[in-house]
Amino acid sequence: MARIEEDKEDLIADGVAMINRAEYSWQKKPATAAWDTVTVGYRADGSCSLYFNQDPFYQVDGAGRLRRAFVDGFLFRSDGATLNRLHRQRTAEQTTLLREDLTERELTEFQMVMKQHVRDFLDAVKAESMQIQRCVFQNPETPHQLPNTLTLILSHGADFLSPRVAHQNR
């Protein structure tokens, strides 16, 4: 695990695991908009990542269920039944990853906020208020796939979490 996290400065150039990716920007940013850009990336396995600026970030599986997220400086990982909030505790000698499960109330609030971000982005894409500024596409149909992906994410109720995401030792 990396000792220090840093923003990815250029997800279009650096996000090579996302074989189809695009950066959307406002044509004219509304005063109520919480973010300037949204970067969308699809992996070969069908999973999709949504970066609203750099934080929040949501990754969903091919079925539109949440796998991972980065929100307000915290990492989140699906446990199937809840989300694990992960926090790095640093000392001069080591970094320890601490895990805390979200309560039912926190999970409900998390889902509501996530869905609002996705809904706002879907509305902006449909209204053509946000358009692609930069992209890398292996599949030219990717922009047409986005509204379906966002709608799929929004369709989930209590089943919005993917099966447990295994911890990866590096």
Classify residue 66: in a domain, yes or no: yes
pTM attached to this predicted model: 0.87
| pLDDT of 34 higher than 50 | yes
**Residue 130 pairs with which residues in a beta bridge?**
26
Range of the domain at 117: 11-155
**Residue 36 pairs with which residues in a beta bridge?**
none
* Alpha carbon distance 109, 92 (integer Å): 35
What is the number of domains present in the chain? 1
Report which of residues 90 and 106 the model is more confident about.
106
Classify residue 70: in a domain, yes or no: yes
- For 74, other C-beta atoms within 10 Å of its C-beta total 15
Assigned token pair, 1: 């695990």
One-letter amino acid of 122: L
Classify residue 4: in a domain, yes or no: no
| pLDDT of 8 higher than 90 | no
SS3 163: coil
* Alpha carbon distance 162, 83 (integer Å): 10
Average pLDDT value over all residues in the chain:
89
Percent of residues, the chain, with pLDDT higher than 70: 92
| pLDDT of 4 higher than 50 | no
Residue of 52, 16, 18, 6 whose CA lies nearest to 33: 52
Classify residue 165: in a domain, yes or no: no
Classify residue 144: in a domain, yes or no: yes
Classify residue 2: in a domain, yes or no: no
* Contact (CB, 8 A) for 67 and 162: yes
Check residue 170 and give its pLDDT.
Answer: 46
Backbone torsions φ then ψ of 24, nearest 5 degrees: -105, 140
Give the CB-side neighbour count of residue 129, counting CA atoms within 13 A.
Answer: 14
For the segment 61-72, the average pLDDT, to the nearest whole number, is: 96
For the segment 63-92, the average pLDDT, to the nearest whole number, is: 93
Check residue 6 and give its pLDDT.
Answer: 54
